[in-house]
C-alpha cells in the first residue's frame, strides 16, 4: 500500500494495450485494423489533455514490437523538450540509420519500419514544422511518424495532410466511471458513489485529472469514508466558487479599490490567473445582464490575456487589466 501511494496512479494505470483505451472506440477500431494489416500510415493524434493520445501510441507500439526490440524500433521525442528542429533531425537520422535485427517474435507483427513519436508537436514553430516535412520524406521508407498534439489547427497543412488523422474526444462519463472504479478497487479505496460522481464532474472528460484527483483524495483524506465537494475542491486546485462570487461582487460594486483587493487576494492565495479568467469567461458568456456588444469587448480582452499568459506575462497585471475592462463593460448597456 505504501508503495502504491508513492507511485503515480496515472502511470501505474496507463493503458497497457490498445484494447484498454477507454471510450475512443472509433480510433481503436481503425488502429487495430491498421496493425493487423501491418500497413501503417504516418499518424496525427489530436484532442484535449488526458484523453489517451500518448497512451494509445505507446500501447500500439508495444503490440507491434516485442519488448526486446522495442528500444530499437521506437523513438519517443517531446517536441517541447528537444532543442529545435536540428536536434530532432539529428536524432531521427541516427535512429533511422541504426540497424535492426531480423529476428521475429510470435504474436508481434514487427512491421519493417520504425516508429517515431513526436509528442506535443503543436509547440513546434511553423519553420520547424516546415523542416520536418523534408525529414519525414527522407526516411519514409524505413520510418513512420506519429505526431501527437492538443491543437490540430497549429499543425501546418502540409504536415497534417501527410498523416492519417485521429481525433480523441473527452471521455464519456460511464467509461471514466468504470475505469475509476476499477482503479479504486485495485487500490482498496472505498468511497460512496457521490464521491466518484463529483470527481467525474470536476474532470470534464479528462481521465488523467480524474485519476489524479482520486489519488489526491486518498493521500489527503485516506481511502475510506466520504469526501465533501468542498474537500474535493481543496485538493483539485480549482478556484472555489466563493472567490468567483467575490470577484463579481467587487465588479458589481463598481469600486476600483474592491476589484484591486480581490485580485491581490487571488494572487496571494496562489490561484493561477488563467483558472480565474476561464471561470469569468464562462460567466460572461452566459450572463443575461451584459449586452452582446460588451460581451464581445470583454471576450476579446480575455483572449488577449490568454495569449499574454501563455507567453509568460505577469498574472497580476493581466488580471487587473481584464477586470478593469470588465468594470467598464459590466452591466453598462
Ligand atoms: N482513453 C483512456 N483510457 C484509459 N485511461 C486513460 C485514457 N485517457 C487517459 N487515460 C489516463 O490518463 C493518463 C494520461 O493519458 P495520456 O498521457 O494518454 O493523455 P494525453 O491524451 O496524451 O494527454 P496530453 O494531451 O495532456 O498529453 C493515462 O496514464 C491514463 O491513466
Ligand atoms: Mg500526451
Residue 5 has pLDDT above 80, yes or no: no
pLDDT in tens, 268-278: 988 889 989 99
Does residue 332 register a pLDDT over 60?
A: no
| Residue 119 pLDDT > 50 | yes
Q: CA 177 to CA 192: how far, in whole Å? A: 13
Of 42, 55, 165, 46, nearest to 114 (Cα)?
42
How far is the centre of ligand 1, averaged over its atoms, from the C-alpha of 52 (Å)?
3
DSSP 8-class letter at 328: H
Site of grid cell 460594486: 253
Whether the CB of 203 sits within 6 Å of ligand 1: no
What's the rounded Cα separation, in Å, for the pair 226 and 278? 29
Provide the pLDDT for residue 333. 47
213 Cα: distance to centroid of ligand 1 (angstroms) = 14
Q: What is the DSSP string of 105-130?
A: -TT----SSEEEEEETGGGS-HHHHH
Query: Quick check: CB of 54 below 6 Å from ligand 1?
Result: yes
Top mean-pLDDT range of 5-14, 151-160, 262-271: 151-160
CA of 125 to the centre of ligand 1 (A): 25
- Cβ proximity of 203 and 176 under 8 Å: yes
- Let me know how long the chain is: 333
Amino acid 2: pLDDT: 43
Q: What's the confidence (pLDDT) of residue 6?
A: 62
Which cell goes with 278?
Answer: 476561464
pLDDT range class, residue 111, cuts 50, 70, 90: confident
pLDDT for position 96: 85
* Per-residue confidence band for 107, with pLDDT thresholds at 50, 70 and 90: confident
Could you tell me if the CB of 232 is within 6 A of ligand 1? no
Rounded mean pLDDT of 12-18? 93
Supply the mean pLDDT for the chain: 90
- Candidate of 9, 29, 47, 54 to mutate for ligand 1, largest count of ligand atoms within 8 Å of Cβ: 54
Q: Which residues contact 141 (CB under 8 A, 6 or more apart)?
A: 113
Is 50 exceeded by the pLDDT of residue 185? yes
15 lines ligand 1 (CB under 6 A): yes
The mean pLDDT of 98-116, rounded to a whole number, is 84
Q: Grid coordinates representing 188?
A: 482498496
Whole-number pLDDT of residue 27: 92
Does 207 contact ligand 1 (Cβ within 6 A)? yes
Each residue's pLDDT tens digit, 16-33: 998 899 999 999 999 888
The residue-averaged pLDDT of 43-68 equals 94
Helix locations, the chain, DSSP H: 2-6, 9-12, 25-37, 53-64, 67-73, 84-97, 126-138, 157-160, 173-186, 193-203, 207-221, 229-236, 241-252, 256-268, 273-286, 292-310, 315-329
Tell me, what's the pLDDT at 233?
Answer: 86
Ligand 1 in reach of 318 Cβ (< 6 A)? no
User: Ligand 1 mean position to 205 CA, how many Å?
Assistant: 10
Residue 50 has pLDDT above 90, yes or no: yes
- How far is the C-alpha of 91 from the C-alpha of 251, rounded, in Å? 53
What b-and-e string marks burial along 225-238, b requiring 16 or more CB atoms within 10 Å of the CB? eebeeeebbbbbee
| Burial state string for 7-41 with b = 16 or more CB within 10 A and e = fewer than 16 | eebbeebbbeebeebbbbeebbeebeebbeeeebe
Residue with CA nearest ligand 1 atom 18: 52
Q: For 279-313, how does the pLDDT look when each residue is reduced to its tens digit (9 = 90+)?
A: 999 999 999 999 999 999 999 999 999 999 988 89
Report the pLDDT averaged over residues 251-262: 90
Domains identified in the chain and CATH numbers: 24-167 (3.40.50.300), 173-236 (1.10.8.60), 241-329 (1.20.272.10)
Amino acid at each position: 500500500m505504501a508503495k502504491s501511494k508513492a507511485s503515480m496512479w496515472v502511470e501505474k494505470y496507463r493503458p497497457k494495450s490498445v484494447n484498454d483505451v477507454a471510450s475512443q472506440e472509433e480510433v481503436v477500431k481503425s488502429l487495430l485494423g491498421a496493425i493487423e494489416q501491418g500497413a501503417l500510415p504516418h499518424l496525427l493524434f489530436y484532442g484535449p489533455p488526458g484523453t489517451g493520445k500518448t497512451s494509445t501510441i505507446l500501447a500500439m507500439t508495444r503490440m507491434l514490437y516485442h519488448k526486446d526490440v522495442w528500444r530499437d524500433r521506437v523513438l519517443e521525442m517531446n517536441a517541447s523538450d528537444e532543442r529545435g528542429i536540428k536536434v530532432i533531425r539529428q536524432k531521427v537520422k541516427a535512429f533511422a540509420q541504426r540497424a535492426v535485427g531480423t529476428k521475429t517474435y510470435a504474436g508481434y507483427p514487427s512491421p519493417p519500419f520504425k516508429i517515431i513519436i513526436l509528442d506535443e508537436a503543436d509547440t513546434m514553430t511553423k519553420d520547424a514544422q516546415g523542416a520536418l516535412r523534408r525529414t519525414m520524406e527522407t526516411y519514409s521508407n524505413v520510418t513512420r511518424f506519429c505526431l501527437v498534439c492538443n491543437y490540430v489547427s497549429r499543425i501546418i497543412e502540409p504536415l497534417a495532410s501527410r498523416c492519417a488523422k485521429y481525433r480523441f474526444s473527452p471521455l464519456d462519463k460511464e467509461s471514466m466511471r468504470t475505469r475509476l472504479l476499477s482503479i479504486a478497487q485495485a487500490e482498496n479505496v472505498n468511497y460512496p458513489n457521490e464521491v466518484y460522481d463529483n470527481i467525474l464532474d470536476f474532470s470534464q472528460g479528462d481521465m488523467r485529472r480524474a485519476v489524479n484527483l482520486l489519488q489526491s483524495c486518498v493521500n489527503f483524506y485516506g481511502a475510506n469514508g466520504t469526501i465533501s465537494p468542498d474537500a474535493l475542491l481543496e485538493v483539485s486546485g480549482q478556484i472555489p466558487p466563493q472567490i468567483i462570487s467575490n470577484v463579481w461582487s467587487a465588479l458589481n460594486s463598481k469600486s476600483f479599490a474592491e476589484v484591486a483587493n480581490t485580485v491581490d487576494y487571488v494572487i496571494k492565495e496562489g490561484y493561477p490567473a488563467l483558472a480565474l479568467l476561464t471561470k469569468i469567461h464562462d460567466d460572461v458568456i452566459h450572463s443575461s445582464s451584459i449586452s452582446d456588444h460588451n460581451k464581445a469587448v470583454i471576450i476579446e480582452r480575455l483572449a488577449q490575456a490568454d495569449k499574454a499568459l501563455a507567453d509568460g506575462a505577469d498574472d497580476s497585471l493581466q488580471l487587473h487589466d481584464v477586470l478593469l475592462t470588465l468594470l467598464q463593460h459590466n452591466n453598462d448597456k
